[in-house]
Amino acid sequence: MSIRKTVVAGSFYPNEKKELLSLIKSFSKIETQNSFEHINAIITPHAGFIYSGNLANKSYFLCSEQNPKRVIVVGPSHHVYFEGSHICLDDEYETPLGNIQVDTEFSKDLKEKYSFLNINEECTFEHSTETQAPFIKYHFPNAKIIEIIYGNQDFNTLSELIAEVIKDKDNLLVISTDLSHFYSLEKAKELDLNCIKGIEKKDMSILENSEACGKIGIKAILKIAISKSLNAKVLDYSTSCDVTNDKSRVVGYTTALIGK
């Protein structure tokens, strides 16, 4: 049996089960309203939990009643450059809360159908997707996971896969992204507001005037949201300054819902 091992447990989030459970439970105490009958996808950050865990948890919390059978996590590669996208074919995905079963049959079917999907062992060090796993295990304990990490990837091509997976209401799509990086607080908010407006208005032209490490994923889901008349709702926004009080080198975070 092969296991996709954690690499950022103990740094991005606690590696002890009790501590991690306590942290996620503290996030869940905050009430968030859901106006969607069905949530097809969420956009969620992937920074250390002390910075963006509260935001990430909001979108997962609102999907908990749907109890998805599969969660397809799509995130950008931060550590290695490659063409196309990597898909995980391990049997299990490790988390401090217990391992998540990888839907290998579903993943293999996707790999056969979409030529841009491949296997890149260096992607096992990626945090943009791994940071989603504890939330998945906590909120959807019986769900299986599919991990897709993109490198030099055309968003139009990626959107074809996204259109397929969100057809099934048993699937939940997770688009992982942080927003602007290392600007002053004023500049970060200016850039991030464009990203937030671009998502809410489903306007690619506004989105182009923003920065996000997962912009390819955002553009891919927005293309499908536009074509299928899905709604987009941004739930919250914050920056690293809210935690560190450092206004000189700020990272932005947001979380949003896509559905009807």
DSSP state string for 109-141: HHHHH-TTEE--GGGGG-HHHHTTHHHHHHH-T
Separation between Cα atoms, residue 205 and residue 195, nearest integer Å: 10
Average pLDDT, the chain: 97
pLDDT at position 28 = 77
pTM over 0.85: yes
pLDDT tens digits, residue range 42-65?
Answer: 999 999 999 999 999 999 999 999
User: Is residue 199 scored above 90 in pLDDT?
Assistant: yes
Could you tell me if 39 and 259 are in contact, meaning their C-beta atoms sit under 8 angstroms apart?
yes
For 16-41, what is each residue's pLDDT tens digit? 999 999 999 999 776 777 889 999 99
CA atoms within a 13 Å half-sphere pointing along the CA-CB vector of 177: 27
Question: Could you identify the residue written with the tokens 């290695």?
Answer: 80
Give 139-179 pLDDT, tens digit per residue: 999 999 999 999 999 999 999 999 999 999 999 999 999 99
Residue 202: which H helix or E strand, with range?
none
pLDDT at 214: 98
What pairing do the DSSP bridges indicate for beta strands 117-118 and 231-239? unpaired
Structural domains of the chain sorted by starting position, each given as residue range(s) with its CATH number in brackets: 3-259 (3.40.830.10)
